[in-house]
């Protein structure tokens, strides 16, 4: 097995990641005995045998939560809303900006609540609220008046206010507390939920709009969180008890270790990750949300566009698993840079008005693959560089640029299309953004071998009772 020094090594690589081969069993007792992160960590089989139920519930929670569903359906509303109300593409896609900005700003708060009160209460409560709020968009008035647009925006605002707790901000905290040696793979499997959503939700949304109208589509899609993810999460999802946690993430006393949010904000690595996420998300978010309109400009029908979105979802799925496996074996910078450059090829393939299906299908797959890699990286880097003690708050702060950029980017793409009649100029800018964003992660340096003295964790039950 290939591992990186500073993760499981003995400290010979002082400044930058290096490769080391682990010795056969029975010949590395000195190394493992000197590193508490190895000595008691469960093996691969042990971690998954303990945490598979939680992982299953988390996958469904992510799939049916506020992270993928709004982004997978709003592209299909462009045509019917334009036909019914005469709204521009910018006006129709602006709710994603509302949703994304609110969700991004609230991500640290929901992360703090998960740290303070327990992830189960926050994730399941937000999942319920998200499903109800998403279904309520079906109540948009039928009158063609300016007030209808404002009501439509207000309904999306509610989705952003209460839905962020159903995103990986919460679910990933629990998974990081169940897994260490297989953290990358487990997070990759968790975030397969967004791939499942990208595969399942677009054809359901397209069918619902075609057969029952766009209002009914919101109510139908709301059944995913309310009727599937919520019941299973209620039965299976929980944080591990102290004795079930991997020893690598706790102190000798069994407490979680890590840096505070203030210490993270003073660390240059936090800002490298932050800027990388911002740059990649600015390029990716608009391409993803505008994919159906982009394909329409290529002469692709809505049914074939749904197929491309499914291919994109398969790309996300592949990116999740492959990236997760690579992160468990190699340093994150070496994994991230080539994978995050893939959508530069995608943007190039989407330039112009070529009506051939194969190039746009390949472009969709590469875009999805890189998206799967980026989401894996956010959760993985937050836990490896800053620990688990204040993971929710730190992850929430790192999710903020992702949410803000994903919210602004679709409108930027739509504005370019409305003013220039083509997406080509913004797709060209995106090519450079992907390369720059991936390159920033090459500057991170090796993972910390240990964190400072752990702080006292809050008593979740007492905190909730007091509240």
Question: What pLDDT is recorded for position 42?
Answer: 45
The whole-model pTM stands at: 0.68
Q: Establish how many alpha carbons lie within 13 A of residue 10's alpha carbon, considering only the half-sphere containing its beta carbon.
A: 12
**429: number of Cβ within 10 Å:** 14
68 close to 229: Cβ distance less than 8 angstroms: no
Question: What pLDDT is recorded for position 229?
Answer: 93
Question: What pLDDT is recorded for position 452?
Answer: 62
- Pairwise CA distance, residues 323 & 321, whole Å: 6
Question: What pLDDT is recorded for position 228?
Answer: 94
Residue ranges in the chain whose pLDDT is less than 50: 1-45, 457-467
Torsion of CA 250, 254, 256, 257, to 10 degrees: -50
Question: What pLDDT is recorded for position 323?
Answer: 85
Question: What pLDDT is recorded for position 102?
Answer: 86
Q: How far is CA 95 from CA 154, 160, 408, in A?
A: 9, 10, 10
Vertex 275: Cα angle to 325 and 369 (nearest 5): 35
Q: List the domains of the chain with CATH numbers.
A: 1-39 (no CATH), 52-466 (1.20.1250.20)
Question: Which tokens belong to 424?
Answer: 């080509």
Task: Report the number of secondary-structure helices (H) and strands (E) in the chain.
Answer: 24, 2
Give tens-digit pLDDT for 225-270: 999 999 999 999 887 776 666 665 555 555 677 788 888 999 999 9
- Pairwise CA distance, residues 312 & 50, whole Å: 32
Burial 212-228 (b: 16+ CB within 10 A, else e): eebbebbbbbbebbbee
Phi, psi angle pair for 16, to nearest 5°: -130, 155
278 CB-near residues (< 8 Å, 6+ apart): 401, 402, 404, 405, 437
129 close to 163: Cβ distance less than 8 angstroms: yes
Q: How far is CA 324 from CA 47, 368, 372, in A?
A: 15, 15, 9
Question: What pLDDT is recorded for position 460?
Answer: 42
Question: What pLDDT is recorded for position 19?
Answer: 40
Per DSSP, the three-state class of 2 is strand
Question: What pLDDT is recorded for position 244?
Answer: 67
């Amino acid at each position: 097995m290939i591992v990186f020094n500073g993760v499981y090594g003995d400290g010979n690589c002082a400044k930058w990641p290096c490769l080391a081969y682990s010795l056969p069993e029975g010949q590395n007792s000195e190394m493992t005995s000197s590193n508490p992160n190895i000595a008691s960590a469960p093996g691969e089989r042990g971690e998954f045998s303990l945490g598979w139920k939680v992982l299953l519930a988390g996958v469904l929670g992510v799939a049916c939560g506020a992270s993928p569903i709004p982004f997978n359906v709003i592209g299909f509303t462009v045509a019917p809303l334009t036909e019914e109300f005469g709204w521009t593409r910018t006006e129709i896609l602006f709710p994603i900006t509302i949703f994304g900005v609110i969700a991004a700003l609230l991500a640290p708060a929901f992360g703090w609540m998960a740290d303070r009160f327990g992830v189960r209460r926050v994730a399941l409560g937000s999942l319920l609220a998200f499903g109800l709020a998403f279904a309520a968009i079906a109540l948009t008035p039928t009158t063609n008046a300016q007030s209808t647009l404002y009501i439509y925006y207000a309904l999306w605002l509610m989705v952003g206010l209460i839905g962020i707790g159903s995103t990986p901000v919460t679910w990933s905290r629990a998974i990081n507390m169940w897994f260490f040696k297989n953290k990358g793979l487990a997070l990759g499997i968790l975030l397969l939920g967004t791939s499942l959503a990208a595969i399942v939700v677009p054809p359901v949304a397209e069918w619902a709009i075609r057969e029952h109208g766009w209002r009914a589509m919101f109510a139908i899609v709301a059944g995913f969180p309310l009727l599937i993810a919520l019941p299973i999460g209620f039965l299976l999802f929980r944080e591990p008890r102290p004795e079930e946690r991997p020893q690598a993430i706790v102190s000798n006393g069994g407490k979680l270790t890590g840096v505070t949010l203030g210490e993270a904000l003073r660390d240059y690595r936090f800002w490298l990750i932050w800027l990388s996420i911002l740059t990649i998300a600015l390029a990716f978010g608009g391409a993803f949300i505008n994919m159906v309109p982009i394909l329409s400009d290529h002469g692709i029908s809505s049914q074939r566009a749904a197929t491309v979105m499914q291919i994109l979802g398969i790309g996300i799925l592949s990116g999740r698993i492959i990236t997760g496996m690579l992160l468990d074996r190699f340093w994150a910078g070496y994994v991230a840079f080539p994978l995050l450059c893939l959508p530069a090829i995608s943007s190039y393939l989407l330039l112009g008005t070529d009506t051939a299906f194969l190039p746009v299908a390949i472009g969709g797959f590469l875009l999805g693959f890189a998206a799967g890699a980026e989401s894996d990286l956010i959760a993985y880097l937050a836990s490896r560089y800053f620990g688990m003690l204040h993971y929710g708050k730190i992850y929430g702060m790192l999710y903020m640029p992702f949410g803000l950029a994903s919210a602004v980017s679709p409108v930027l793409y739509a504005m370019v299309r409305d003013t220039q009649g083509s997406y080509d100029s913004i797709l060209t800018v995106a090519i450079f953004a992907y390369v720059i964003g991936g390159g920033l992660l090459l500057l991170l340096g090796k993972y910390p071998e240990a964190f400072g003295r752990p702080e006292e964790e809050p008593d979740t039950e007492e905190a909730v009772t007091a509240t």
